[in-house]
Structure 1
Amino acid sequence: MTAPGGRPDCEEVIMKLLHIDSSALGTHSVSRELSAAIVARLRRQHPTAEVVYRDLAAEPLPHWAPAADATDPAVRAGSAVLDEFLAADVVVIGAPMYNFGIPSQLKAWIDRILVAGKTFRYTARGPEGLAGGRKVIVASARGGIYSDKPAMDFQEAYLRHVLGFIGIGDVEFVRAEGLNISPETKAEAIRSAHAAIEDVARLAA
């Protein structure tokens, strides 16, 4: 996997876009469908955008553990993930809800980008996020309907909190929920989510 290159010395600023998928459902995944649609819409808006793609289900990251030295493969993988994240202007995350939360594959990625001294730091006034200035768009897919049940939603609430912790307040969700209720509900949820992508993409301009 190649990290994006440097910015050219010209007036045009090239958008750097990081695309993350975490669903284990492959071609049956709604979050993958939506994240791909978001990226495609952004690329139409920014034809010269540099896109880095990481499939956390196809290439799962090792879960975080203390490492002996920088030659540890887990350390090298973590460094690559962090570099990709820090280089990005916009991050698109495909995040299905699994058992009220996020997939463990996505949690392993988050554990690699929350790094003291890199994306946050502790101060006398408390923790301070260092990763602001970038936008995150989350393609959220849920089998049930949880937007009216915040006490049961540990997926979107967690993502907002952890991204806010590292200084990212510019977070948008494209949500498809009720996917397992009925074929009609699923079709309408996907249609509404695709319609919402237009508004979210304009905000990323």
Structure 2
Amino acid sequence: MTTVLQIDASARSGRSGEAAHGSHTRRLTHRFVQHWRALRPDDEVLYRDVGVRPPRPVTGDWIHAAFTAPEAREPWMRAALAESDALVAELKTADVIVIGAPMYNFGPPAQLKAWIDNVARVGLTFGFDRSREGEPYWPLLAGQGKTLVVLTARGDHGYDAGGRIADLELVTPSLAKPLAYLGITDLRTVAVEYDEFADERLAASLCEAEASVSALAETMVRERSEERARVA
């Protein structure tokens, strides 16, 4: 069984096409998960809405607690890390992490950055040893077959590689780089553009993105089935 973790980060609670001023990224994550469920109804889906219920940002107490050995943590330290522990547990359980990540001022929402900060945990998702020969850091989620799917929406157009403003696309790398640091290096992406124009170009981009999301779910299901058959 595959476990899918769906994370929505838009500040808008509804989905475009259903709610006035609804979120395109929520529309795409919903489509991906619904298509996945249709293909694999027995798989588990976990859901986290950081747009509506954002994780608490990292504080000095959080850092103190996180870098204290687990056996030495006081009750207040365990309380400070409780939410982070739950987020890490979800990430470690998931085989497919589907993130709806709208572009806000060229980067991801602050709520999503808070999620990243909470799941990047020494001793849980990455290792650190000053005495280790060579690189003192290493990923703890590598080799587990995890895939990151970033579904994003942008107001302007031309953010893809080679595009007119590709250098301003900071959403995908801000998610892909830290999660690759933890060991999740298989990245898939789909984007909607032209949101600020709200014309036929946006409609075409949405149509193309929805088709791409459905095709991506089918491709990933097939890949995982083939991999299971190969190792069986």
How would you bin the TM-score normalised by the shorter chain? 0.7 to 0.9
Determine if contact 2:153/2:193 at 8 Å carries over to the other structure.
yes
Aligned residue number for residue 6 of structure 2: 19
2:81 partner SS? helix
Q: Distance in 2 between matches of 1:90 and 1:36?
A: 14
Answer yes or no: is 1:201 the counterpart of 2:232: no
The aligned amino acid for 1:111 is D
Aligned residue number for residue 86 of structure 2: 80
Partner deviation per Cα, 1:47-92 (whole Å, 9 max, x = no partner): 0111111111221111011235454544111111110110111111
Identify which range, 144-153 or 122-131, moves more after superposition.
122-131
Which of 46, 51, 57 aligns to 2:45? It is 51
Aligned-residue Cα RMSD (Å) equals: 1.6
Aligned residue number for residue 110 of structure 2: 104
Determine if contact 1:179/1:189 at 8 Å carries over to the other structure.
no
Aligned residue number for residue 148 of structure 2: 136
CA distance 1:124–1:142, shift in 2 (3 Å): farther
What is the number of residues matched between the two proteins? 192
Determine if contact 2:190/2:212 at 8 Å carries over to the other structure.
yes
Determine if contact 2:116/2:175 at 8 Å carries over to the other structure.
no
Aligned residue number for residue 176 of structure 2: 160
* Structure 1 unaligned blocks of 5 or more: 1-13
Partner deviation per Cα, 1:88-126 (whole Å, 9 max, x = no partner): 111111100000000000011111111122212235332
**Which of the two has greater helix per residue?**
2
Q: Which has the larger radius of gyration?
A: 2
The alignment's TM-score, normalised by the length of structure 1, stands at 0.87
Determine if contact 2:192/2:209 at 8 Å carries over to the other structure.
yes
Q: Distance in 2 between matches of 1:116 and 1:124?
A: 18
- Percent identity between the aligned chains? 33
Partner deviation per Cα, 1:13-48 (whole Å, 9 max, x = no partner): x21111100000121100000011011111111101
The alignment's TM-score, normalised by the length of structure 2, stands at 0.78
CA distance 1:59–1:74, shift in 2 (3 Å): farther
Shift of 1:171: 1.1
Answer yes or no: is 1:33 the counterpart of 2:27: yes
Aligned residue number for residue 134 of structure 2: 125
Identify which range, 162-171 or 100-109, moves more after superposition.
162-171
* Structure 2 unaligned blocks of 5 or more: 15-21, 66-73, 222-232
Q: Distance in 2 between matches of 1:70 and 1:185?
A: 54
